[in-house]
Structure 1
């Protein structure tokens, strides 16, 4: 196993221990990409990371977290990254859920570095998928992660941070912890978000992604141990109860955004839509860069990005229709129709 449990990590904290006392500085700015699962956060994360104006949490940072400082001091980063790239290449070459090519430098979610509490997913399925990770109990670990990234980075750039779990009922708490942090919210029509969730999560449980197994020890354990737990989780996600719980978690997150976004200072956040990002990525990135005060290079991508058109099943649509009244304020706020035309044409 490449990763350890919380107890094992505390007892064997790795090669970085002699250097932890040197960690003092935080990044010049923290930039949180905020959005629901399957709302386009990964696309936005990658586009911003590719501008070379930000530092970000990579797959290498996650897999080799306990030796990042050691590898940097010893001049071994390039060598270790190359070895990790070879390992990833020898395994399945994508994230499975979206086909994004993977590697040691791929931008990834910081949740993989924070410790997670064990929750029975069969009893609390909604909680597992939508519980925040950046909480008071994980704050020390989060700060250490940011300081490590600052210490090993060549330039003092803003640190991009992405973790959809912290979109749900948590951005005000993060703002309270880091008042100077900036937030980039990305939205996508809720029906497409819900539909994509109902396709992605069962797929990840049905077919193993070796890459995700490197990042997440719980995911790796599901495929190494008895298949019973994985089969039960898969059955839950495919059930009517599973659909209702996932949609309920999404709707609560959207309602929280609509009800609480006004409590964030206007200087702390910018909000874009996935559909607009796909239609004109250069324009969306320019808007974000101006908000952040970061000068981007002139050769920004101008060609439209083709959104993934996933068929909407009748069960998913029927479940969504029952939540339309609860979704109306959020949909109206963002200028979305109740039902997107593309979805209607496929039903």
Structure 2
């Protein structure tokens, strides 16, 4: 099989709950409605989860306590930004620096079947066979050991993860209030979630044999205050992009990814409404909280600048956040930049009516970030 065919192989994505606590998996049945057409998908998820149970139980009881005792984690670097703002590209670039640790795609789904050798052999092989060569929503290359968002794993033991919405998309507003703003979450559960996050970071660092953790997790864009409670000296990189392009890319991404993961029906019209609402909420929360970040610990960048001159922008990021080692990482980052020159972005078409809705919804952010209507989007005139 050619290298190109390997990269574009077909695969099957499954709900991330295959590696969750069985108690949390069962909780989905009682808390959220699973639509009938997805019952078989849920049954398969349960079966894989049960097979995984002895392996993750062993790791939680025997291996995890060692990492729970680790208190000397260097303050992480958090990449913030709404989905489709360039967070994945920025994360992949920075992860070419060998000092950067990260959560892998495999760990994000099976966070407690990582250091159990037999369990890892079985489930990493299983994941490698199933994962498609490219992500359906944006053609980004996928692989079990490639960098991934940690949000998938944060709901594995404590029932708090915004990415439950991939399975239950009609609950996205509820999940935002409870799992990003932590409204209605008692302090004990909140502290367990924090402890689980720190455990995930400690295991990620061991897995990548590094000391500096680099997070890319869009839900954290609305959790700056909470992250500073955990890591007062954490450093942040916020990347932003034209809100209209973000909407179109997010709409397309959700439309193509949800069919692989969802356990609830949702219409395209509903998805569009939720994408607009989500953007407004998370950007408002970020603007309100970013002043809490200590001076010198935040750098804000434009996706457009990352596209035009990535090496210059990354050099500025290293300098402003006082991250050492750019010179030694430069060659590896440049090689990755060169490899991405053939990457093709999705094209987008928008009706005049849709454009007017987006301009009204995103007016505040567009003015604050100095954006106008992008020139590279095809605008269709509405039918009379």
TM-score bracket relative to the smaller structure: 0.7 to 0.9
- Alpha-carbon offset, residue 343 of structure 1: 2.9
Q: Aligned partners of 2:247 and 2:82: how far apart in 1?
A: 10
CA-to-aligned-CA distance 1:243-302 (integer Å, 9 cap, x gap): 233212202222333343233222221111111101111011111222242212232426
Q: Aligned partners of 2:236 and 2:289: how far apart in 1?
A: 14
1:59 equivalent in alignment to 2:105: yes
Q: TM-score, normalised by structure 2?
A: 0.70
Q: Aligned partners of 1:22 and 1:184: how far apart in 2?
A: 30
Q: Aligned partners of 1:91 and 1:262: how far apart in 2?
A: 40
Counterpart selection for 2:195 from 114, 119, 140: 140
1:269 equivalent in alignment to 2:295: no
Do the aligned partners of residues 125 and 146 (structure 1) sit closer, same or farther apart at CA in structure 2, a change above 3 Å counting?
Answer: closer
Do the aligned partners of residues 70 and 85 (structure 1) sit closer, same or farther apart at CA in structure 2, a change above 3 Å counting?
Answer: closer
Q: What's 1:336 paired with?
A: 371
Do the aligned partners of residues 345 and 42 (structure 1) sit closer, same or farther apart at CA in structure 2, a change above 3 Å counting?
Answer: same
For the 8 Å contact 1:243–1:316, the answer to whether it is kept is no
Q: What's 1:319 paired with?
A: 357
For the 8 Å contact 2:349–2:379, the answer to whether it is kept is no
- 1:172-183 alignment runs, 5 A limit: 172-183=225-236
Q: CA RMSD in A?
A: 3.3
Query: What SS is found at the alignment partner of 1:38?
Result: coil
1:164 equivalent in alignment to 2:218: yes
Q: Aligned partners of 1:8 and 1:333: how far apart in 2?
A: 40
CA-to-aligned-CA distance 1:209-236 (integer Å, 9 cap, x gap): xxxxxxxxxx2x73xxxxxx3xx22x1x
1:109 equivalent in alignment to 2:149: yes
For the 8 Å contact 1:85–1:104, the answer to whether it is kept is no
1:4 equivalent in alignment to 2:20: yes
1:88 equivalent in alignment to 2:128: yes
- Alpha-carbon offset, residue 102 of structure 1: 1.4
Query: What SS is found at the alignment partner of 2:114?
Result: helix
Q: TM-score, normalised by structure 1?
A: 0.77
For the 8 Å contact 1:95–1:101, the answer to whether it is kept is yes
Q: What's 2:253 paired with?
A: 200
- Alpha-carbon offset, residue 341 of structure 1: 2.2
Q: Aligned partners of 1:8 and 1:257: how far apart in 2?
A: 29
For the 8 Å contact 1:121–1:128, the answer to whether it is kept is no
For the 8 Å contact 2:221–2:283, the answer to whether it is kept is no
Gaps of 5+ in 2: 1-16, 27-52, 183-189
- Alpha-carbon offset, residue 308 of structure 1: 2.5
For the 8 Å contact 1:126–1:246, the answer to whether it is kept is no
Query: What SS is found at the alignment partner of 1:270?
Result: strand
1:33 equivalent in alignment to 2:71: no
- Alpha-carbon offset, residue 322 of structure 1: 2.4
Q: Aligned partners of 1:87 and 1:256: how far apart in 2?
A: 35
Q: Aligned partners of 2:288 and 2:308: how far apart in 1?
A: 28
Q: Aligned partners of 1:85 and 1:133: how far apart in 2?
A: 36
Q: Aligned partners of 1:259 and 1:29: how far apart in 2?
A: 22
For the 8 Å contact 1:278–1:307, the answer to whether it is kept is no
- Alpha-carbon offset, residue 7 of structure 1: 1.6
Q: What's 1:18 paired with?
A: 62
Q: What's 1:126 paired with?
A: 173
Query: What SS is found at the alignment partner of 1:298?
Result: helix
Q: What's 1:213 paired with?
A: none
Gaps of 5+ in 1: 209-218, 223-228
